[in-house]
C-alpha cells in the first residue's frame, strides 16, 4: 500500500522496533542500578543492587551500618516503585511491539515521547529517593554526619566509606532499545 503522507516505516525499521521490544523485556531480568560501598573493614565491598522488581545485595549489612548515621533502612517497602515497575516495562514492550506492527511514524514519535518522559521521571524519582535517604537522618543517631545526597552515577564519601553508584546491565539494555527506536527516524526520514 502506498502511503502518500510518508508516515510508513520500512520493514527493516519495523524489525528494529521489534528488537527494541525484546530488549525492554530482557532488561527486567538484570540489575538497573547499584551502589557499591568500600571501607577498610569491607575491602571486598558491599552492594545494594536494584532490579526493576526487587532489591538485592548485602542489604542487611548496609542497613546495620546506616543505622549508626541515622539513615532509614533500604527495603522494598521503602521503594513502592518496585511493586509495579516491571509491569510498566512489560506494557512498554507490548506498545513497542504494536508500534513495530503498525509501522506508523506518528506512533513511533508518540512512543519515543512517552519513553523520554518516563525516563526523566524515573531519574527524578531515584534522585528524590537518594536525597530523602541522605538528608533525613535521625537526630538521635550515634554518629553525627552532615546530610548528603549520593549521586545517581559517580563517587561519594561518607565517613570512612567510599561509595560508587553505577548503572546496571538492565539500564544498558533499556538504552540500547531506545537507540533502536531512534534509528528508524533517521533511516526512514525521507521515505514516502
Of the chain, the percentage scoring pLDDT greater than 90 comes to 85
Which strand ranges, in their side-by-side order, compose the sheet holding 154-158? 55-57, 42-50, 33-39, 161-167, 154-158
> What's the average model confidence in pLDDT over 132-137?
93
Greater pLDDT, 192 or 114:
114
143-182: string of b/e by CB count within 10 Å (b at 16+)? eeeeebebeeeeebebeebebbbeebebbebbeebbebbe
10 Å CB burial of residue 95 (0-12, 13-18, 19+) is: middle
The answer to whether residue 5 scores a pLDDT higher than 50 is no
User: What would the pLDDT profile of 43-80 be if each residue is shown by its tens digit?
Assistant: 999 999 999 999 999 999 999 998 999 999 999 998 99
> What's the average model confidence in pLDDT over 109-124?
96
pLDDT of residue 191: 55
The answer to whether residue 92 scores a pLDDT higher than 70 is yes
Amino acid at each position: 500500500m502506498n502511503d502518500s503522507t510518508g508516515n510508513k516505516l520500512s520493514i527493516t525499521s519495523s524489525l528494529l522496533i521489534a528488537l527494541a521490544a525484546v530488549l525492554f523485556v530482557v532488561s527486567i531480568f538484570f540489575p538497573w542500578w547499584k551502589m557499591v560501598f568500600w571501607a577498610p573493614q569491607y575491602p571486598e565491598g558491599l552492594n545494594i543492587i536494584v532490579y526493576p522488581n526487587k532489591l538485592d545485595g548485602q542489604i542487611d549489612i548496609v542497613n546495620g551500618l546506616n543505622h549508626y548515621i541515622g539513615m532509614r533502612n533500604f527495603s522494598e517497602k521503602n521503594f513502592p516503585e518496585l511493586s509495579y515497575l516491571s509491569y510498566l516495562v512489560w506494557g512498554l514492550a507490548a506498545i513497542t511491539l504494536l508500534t513495530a506492527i503498525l509501522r506508523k511514524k506518528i506512533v513511533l514519535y508518540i512512543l519515543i515521547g512517552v519513553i523520554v518522559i518516563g525516563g526523566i521521571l524515573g531519574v527524578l524519582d531515584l534522585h528524590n529517593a537518594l536525597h530523602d535517604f541522605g538528608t533525613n537522618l535521625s537526630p538521635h543517631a550515634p554518629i553525627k554526619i552532615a546530610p548528603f545526597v549520593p549521586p545517581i552515577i559517580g563517587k561519594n564519601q561518607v565517613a570512612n566509606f567510599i561509595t560508587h553508584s553505577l548503572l546496571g546491565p538492565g539500564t544498558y539494555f533499556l538504552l540500547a532499545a531506545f537507540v533502536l527506536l531512534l534509528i528508524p527516524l533517521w533511516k526512514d526520514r525521507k521515505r514516502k
